[in-house]
Amino acid sequence: MLSLPRNEIHLWHVNQAEFNGPELESNCLSWLTDSEIKRYHRYISDYHRKQFLLGRMLIRNTLSKYAEIEPQNWKFEQNRYGKPGIVSSQLAQPLFFNLSHSSERLVLAISAHAGIGVDIESSAKPRRVAKIADRYFSPSEIEELLALPEAGQLSRFYELWTLKEAYIKACGLGLAIPLRHFSYSFPSKYKVLINFAKEHNDDASLWQYWQIAVSGPFKMALAVKSEKAPVDSIHSKTFLALDEVMDMDTKILRDH
C-alpha cells in the first residue's frame, strides 16, 4: 500500500490510445455504480464511452493503492458545486483527488490536502485568444497576453487557462468564482505568481501552484491549498495497463 505524506502530491497519467475499449469494459464496468453505468451507456460514441470508463478506472484503481478498499467498493459524494470526493467514513487517513482529461490524455492528482486541483488541456487547437481572454481573464492578464508576439499568445493562453482551472477546481466552487477575480503573472522564466482581487476573499500565501511539462501538445497545471504544510515533492506515474504502472519524471516548468 502506498503512503501519502502531506508534503507530496502524486500524479497518475493515462493515455487513452493505449487501452482497448472492450477489454476495459470487461474488466472495469462492474466497478461502477448503477448511475455510472447508465451514464456510460448514454454516450453515443465509443470514444467517449471509453474515456468515461477510463477515468473511473483511473480513480478507483489508483485510490485502491492507498487504502485496503477494492476498486468497486469506493463510495463517492459531490459537494453542492459538483466536485467529487470520497465518503470520508471509509478512510483512516486523509485522501483527496482531482481528475482532468483532454483529448487522449487523463491525469489524476492525489493529495492529503482537500484543496487539490489539476487541469490538462490540448494546446494545439487554435483559439480566438483575444475574444476569450476578454471574457474570462483579468485586465492585467489580458494586457500581458496581448503584449506578447502573436506566435506566443496561444501558448500563454493555455498556460493561463490551465492555471485558472486548477485553482477553481481546487477550491471546489466551480464557476461560482469569477475567473476575473484572480490573476496570474510570470515575473521570470521559472516563476508564476497569483494575485487576488479585493472582492475575492483569499490569501495567496495559503496556495501553491505549478506548471508541469507534459509530452505532446498539452499544457498542465496543478494547484493545492497547502496552508501550513507545504508540498515539496511531486511524483508522477503512468498506467501502461490495468496492472502495469511505470514511474515518470516530473518536470516543473514554473512554480509559485
pLDDT of residue 205: 92
Q: How far is CA 1 from CA 55, 58, 109, in A?
A: 21, 16, 17
Where residue 92 falls among pLDDT bands split at 50, 70, 90?
Answer: confident
The answer to whether the CB of 32 falls within 8 A of the CB of 75 is: no
Average pLDDT of span 69-96: 91
CATH number, domain of 147, equals: 3.90.470.20
Which cell goes with 185? 503573472
The answer to whether the CB of 162 falls within 8 A of the CB of 120 is: yes
The whole-chain average pLDDT of the chain stands at 93
Where residue 81 falls among pLDDT bands split at 50, 70, 90?
Answer: confident
Residues in CB range of 236: below 8 A, 6 or more apart = 10, 11, 12, 13, 247, 248, 249, 250
The answer to whether the CB of 115 falls within 8 A of the CB of 97 is: no
Q: Is residue 3 part of a domain?
A: no
Question: 45-71 burial string, b = 16+ CB within 10 Å, else e?
Answer: eeeebbbbbbbbbbbbbbbbebbebeb
Three-state secondary structure of the chain: CCCCCCCEEEEEEEEHHHCCHHHHHHHHHHHCCHHHHHHHHHCCCHHHHHHHHHHHHHHHHHHCCCCCCCHHHCCEEECCCCCEEECHHHCCCCCEEEEEEECCEEEEEEECCCCEEEEEEECCCCCCHHHHHHHHCCHHHHHHHHHCCHHHHHHHHHHHHHHHHHHHHHHCCHHHCCHHHEEEEEEECCEEEEEECCCCCCCHHHEEEEEECCCCCEEEEEEEECCCCCCCEEEEEEEEECCEEEEECCCEEEEC
Burial of 22 (0-12, 13-18, 19+ CB in 10 A): exposed
Q: pLDDT for 33-77, tens place per residue?
A: 999 999 999 999 999 999 999 999 999 999 999 999 999 999 999
Q: pLDDT for 237-249, tens place per residue?
A: 999 999 999 999 9
User: Lowest-pLDDT range, 13-22, 43-52, 85-94, 211-220?
Assistant: 85-94
pLDDT of residue 138: 93
Per the document, the length of the chain is 256
Instruction: Tell me the pTM.
Output: 0.96
* The pLDDT of residue 231 is above 80: yes
Q: Is residue 188 part of a domain?
A: yes
Q: Is residue 220 part of a domain?
A: yes
> Does 149 or 175 have the greater pLDDT score?
149
* The pLDDT of residue 89 is above 90: no
Q: How many domains would you assign to the chain?
A: 1
Q: pLDDT for 26-35, tens place per residue?
A: 999 999 999 9
Distance CA 74, CA 68 (A): 10
Q: Is residue 28 part of a domain?
A: yes
pLDDT of residue 195: 92
pLDDT of residue 228: 78
Q: Is residue 1 part of a domain?
A: no
Q: Is residue 2 part of a domain?
A: no
Q: Is residue 38 part of a domain?
A: yes
Where residue 219 falls among pLDDT bands split at 50, 70, 90?
Answer: very high
Q: pLDDT for 158-180, tens place per residue?
A: 999 999 999 999 999 877 788 88
Distance CA 34, CA 196 (A): 41
User: What range defines the domain where residue 232 resides?
Assistant: 8-255
